[in-house]
Amino acid sequence: MGKGKKSRLSQPGKVTLRDVAERVGLAPGTVSAVLNNAPSSRAIPEHTQQRIRAAAQELNYRPNFLARSLRKKRTYTVGLIIEEIGDVYGAMVISGVEAYLRQHNYFFLTVIHRHDAAMLRNHSQLLLERGVEGFITVDTSLEEPLPLPTVSVAGHRTLKGVTNIVLDQERGARVALEHLFNLGHRKIAFMKGQPHSSDSEDRWKAVCKVAQDLGLEMDADLIVNLEFDDPSPQVGYPYAKRLLARKKPFTALFAYNDISAIGAIRAIQEEGLRVPQDVSVVGFDDIPWAAFHTPSLTTVRQPLDRMGQMAAATLIRMIENTGENSSEIAIEPTLVIRESTGRAPQQ
């Protein structure tokens, strides 16, 4: 290879599929199938695929996205609609979405709506104008179907063209409350989720049903309803203060999510109470902070990263019309027992 040729091939975006094909001595179609993860690439031996990828990396090959889009009249772009940037729950789902889309040569554009219906409509329209081929929504209560294939993470409405990825809320409530019940807790306080959170209503119904099944009394004085939106532990701190100010004794608290549970632990400790010796606390989600908080948090784990990957995989299947699609995909939660729960104190 001459000096001029080598220089040209070292520039990202200047290397073509034909250049890679010449390097490995194979047909451009074979190289294209491997580098674009086409179904036909499954018939190509693994060692040949590795040789093609190694050559592409060595030559610094980058797919010509614009040419591919024009050729197939597609954008390979999806719209991601989320409540806000900075929410740990959403960030973990987005991480899974991004990982899957990147592996399959798709891009995504993100908009936030802050639970504002007008903003949701306007931003959905903006995404349509930018050529997205489908939508993924996270913690978003859709009032009507969007005009393209849609996957909703934590969606709870049956809408045409929408696949909901939902957690088995009753299972989540059961593993948490049975854990507390088996530790001897009978006076349990509850934090109910914000009205705008898409999981809130279904989770609360599940909590009430499981409590009734276990024969647990749900004292109105031991229930607080989260109201304002905050992606930090501040979301739970003032409500735990409110619970404690009522001077109604409780030995355990089941919080709506991990963020509110962590804020509640701070409020409990400020009252001179110990977690879990005086009050046990259970969260929901299993965000990364949960394992590293002091005390580490017992929580109901949602596989958020996997849910994001499933959302992306389902949407691509819907866009490309491959395989059957269902209106709902159910996810099983599990309980992670850590330091924030213990036996109920002797009365």
Q: Say which CATH number the domain at 242 has.
A: 3.40.50.2300
Residue 224 falls inside a structural domain: yes
Residue 152 falls inside a structural domain: yes
Residues 79 and 226 in one domain: no
DSSP line for 182-217: HTT--SEEEEEPPTTSTTHHHHHHHHHHHHHHHT--
Please give the Cα distance from 343 to 75 (Å, whole number). 56
Residue 144 falls inside a structural domain: yes
Residue 221 falls inside a structural domain: yes
Residues 227 and 263 in one domain: yes
Residues 296 and 183 in one domain: yes
* CA-based end-to-end distance of the chain: 84
Q: What is the tally of structural domains in the chain?
A: 3
Residues 154 and 175 in one domain: no
**Segments of the chain scoring below 70 in pLDDT:** 1-13, 64-72, 323-324, 347
> The domain spanning residue 34 has which CATH number?
1.10.260
Phi-psi region of 276 (alpha: psi -120 to 50; beta: other; left: phi over 0): alpha
Residues 196 and 255 in one domain: yes
Residues 173 and 276 in one domain: yes
SS3 labels along 265-302 = HHHHHHCCCCCCCCCEEEEEECCHHHHHCCCCCEEEEC
Residues 282 and 181 in one domain: yes
pLDDT of residue 173: 98
Residues 34 and 75 in one domain: no
pLDDT of residue 5: 43
Amino acid at 121: R
Burial of 10 by CB count in 10 Å (0-12 exposed, 13-18 middle, 19+ buried)?
exposed
Residue 261 falls inside a structural domain: yes
Residues 176 and 269 in one domain: yes
Residue 254 falls inside a structural domain: yes
Residue span of the structural domain in which 40 resides:
3-60
| pLDDT, tens only, 155-168 | 878 888 899 999 99
Residue 227 falls inside a structural domain: yes
pLDDT of residue 62: 76
DSSP assigned state of 11: S
Buried b (16+ CB within 10 A) or exposed e, 81-119: bbbeeebbbbbbbbebbbebbeeeebebbbbbbebeeee
Tokens for 187, please give them. 């006076």
pLDDT of residue 2: 44
pLDDT of residue 64: 67
Residue 89 falls inside a structural domain: yes
How wide is the angle at C-alpha 333 spanned by C-alphas 211 and 91, nearest 5°?
120
Burial of 150 by CB count in 10 Å (0-12 exposed, 13-18 middle, 19+ buried)?
buried
Is this model's pTM higher than 0.85 or not? no
Residues 191 and 285 in one domain: yes
pLDDT of residue 91: 92
Residues 216 and 279 in one domain: yes
Q: β-pairing, 77-82 with 188-192?
A: unpaired
Residues 115 and 27 in one domain: no
